[in-house]
Chain A
Amino acid sequence: MTSSPQPPVSVVRENARRADAFAPAWPFAKLALWYVASVSLTLLVWQSCIWIFHPAPYIVPTPRATYDVVVSQWSQIWPLALGTFRETIYGYAAGAALGFLLAVAMYKIRVFRSLSYPLIIGSQAIPIIALAPILVLVIGFNIYPTIIVVTWIVFFPVTINTLDGFLNLDPDLLNLTRVLGATRGRRFWFVELPGVVTPLFSGLKIGAAYAVTGAIIGEQAASSGPSLYQFQVAANNQSRTDLVYGITIVMMIIGLLWFAVVTGLDRIFTPWKYRATARRWFRRDKTRNASLTTND
């Protein structure tokens, strides 16, 4: 360690820490920049349509008018949007968990796989609009039918993608685990599970994009109190087109936000795709640090 000229140990350590801390900041910043760019582009196209076609404001309002009405109605929209967001994430969490557990069970238990596959496909062939009233009949007017609708929509892509991931694991890799004498539990935890993280997140992302739709359908069919959906219907009945547009955009933003959260989680859980080295706090050996410390 003393043969070649080296910078002081404290500098080495500081640089290493900084590289670790700042490496992930850039991709996030870049991602945010692209979000901003595509939103700007959409607004531009919207405004251009108005400049070119001159639609009546009660058919297509301007982006500016839409923005203004959302701001002025914010105190009303905000709690409702929060409610929709809550339904979305509760349903999403349940759907993600259910979807993942189903995939694991279907992978591990062949009989279960064969039996449940037609049911799972069938579950998605039912129009959600038809399902929601049934749920209300069974459960009543409260938040749960909405959450179940979201769960119903979200679990499907998660199960299908994750199961595909499990079934497409490299058979040679599984053979290797046998050669190494792996126990079933440890093989699952250290090889099979990390091996499906990518398809799992594909399913989770698809689910994230659809989750808000589920929540709004649920609000339409099942909510008793005020909801974002009902607020939009009311605005429509009063011909407040700008507000209808504004609420629609708020719904979209909820979906985008949640998608961004899931994308961020994907990055955190798959560092090997974005980083050259493991994060410092994931490294198990302290020997390297120790040898650095003894040098100064």
Chain B
Amino acid sequence: MPSSPLLQISSVSKTFGGVVALDTTSLELAEGSFTSLVGPSGCGKSTLFNIISGLLPPDGGSVSLEGRDVTGTSGHVGYMLQKDLLVPWRTVMGNITLAASLTRRVTAEDRAQAQAQAERYGLGDFLHHYPRTLSGGMRQRVALMRTLATNQSLLLLDEPFGALDAQTRLDMQQWLLEIWADLGKTVVFVTHDVDEALFLSDRVLVMSPRPGRVVADLTVDVARPRTLATLTDPSFIELKRRVLGLLHRENA
């Protein structure tokens, strides 16, 4: 760890009417890291994100970002929710600049930035299209650009590629790594796909349900940039075996 962590979560927990959605959890994230969260449905991944983003006040504990206590307050992280949530009445451009228009007047610079992003990542011809006309992969890309346009250093991505076919998914993963490398963001990524988690991350947190908690914290020591060959790398396969073992044991 080079310096103090970007995000520090100290013993947060959340119970919904007797169901422990998230057991007491503590976590630190280093600046510029890429961390994945894997675990079966209902183990509290989205709950953890909701707490970090301030949508949900934790029953106990605290969240601090860059040394500031941000428990229960929102507007300080880029959070891409499980649904893409594009607003149908705004064009691609309008959706990317949504964060700006919700907080202040949208400037020409915001629009130029949105346009540059859209063009760079293959949506240049769709700037003025309504979301209705976009494919699932394009919608996800717009949602991610909207999240990026908030200019927050911490990005929480909740199953952003869950609904995509294998080919599009692979493209999107490459694209995300590109962005991560370009912009030096800190990313937390939720997925059900172990390959995806390992392929993308420096670190993988495995969670288990009832009560939801982190049962393993693994470092992915595989060199970057990663390619298709990485998927068959022995150390990669060994890690995958361990994660699958943990998930399987929890399910049994």
A interface vs B, CB < 8 Å? 170, 172-173, 175-183, 186-187, 190-191, 194-195, 197, 270-273, 275-278, 283-285, 287-288
Contact = CB atoms under 8 A, between A and B. Distances in A.
Interface stretch (B95-103, B172-180, B185-193, B198-206): B95-103
A277 B130 CA distance: 6
B89 A270 contact: yes
Given A179-B74, A179-B75, A180-B99, A284 B130 contact: no
Contacts of B129: 276-278
Interface residues of B, number: 36
Given A178-B55, A285-B115, A287-B112, A183 B101 contact: no
A172 B103 contact: no
B91 interface: yes
Contact of B130 (A180, A197, A278): A278
Query: Of residues A173, A179, A284, which shows the largest number of chain B Cβ atoms within 10 Å of its Cβ?
Result: A179
Contact of A190 (B53, B54, B98, B150): B98
A186 B75 contact: no
Nearest to B112: A287
B111 interface: yes
Contact of A272 (B77, B85, B88, B103): B88
B98 A172 contact: no
A172 B81 contact: yes
Contact of B87 (A194, A273, A285): A194
25 contacts: A172-B85, A176-B79, A176-B81, A179-B79, A180-B75, A180-B150, A181-B74, A181-B76, A182-B102, A182-B103, A186-B103, A187-B102, A190-B102, A191-B102, A194-B89, A195-B87, A272-B88, A275-B130, A276-B129, A276-B132, A276-B133, A278-B94, A283-B128, A284-B93, A285-B112
B122 to A, nearest CB: 16
B55 A175 contact: yes
Given A173-B87, A186-B101, A272 B132 contact: yes
B83 interface: yes
B127 A186 contact: no
Contacts of A273: 132
Nearest to A183: B103
A176 B89 CA distance: 16
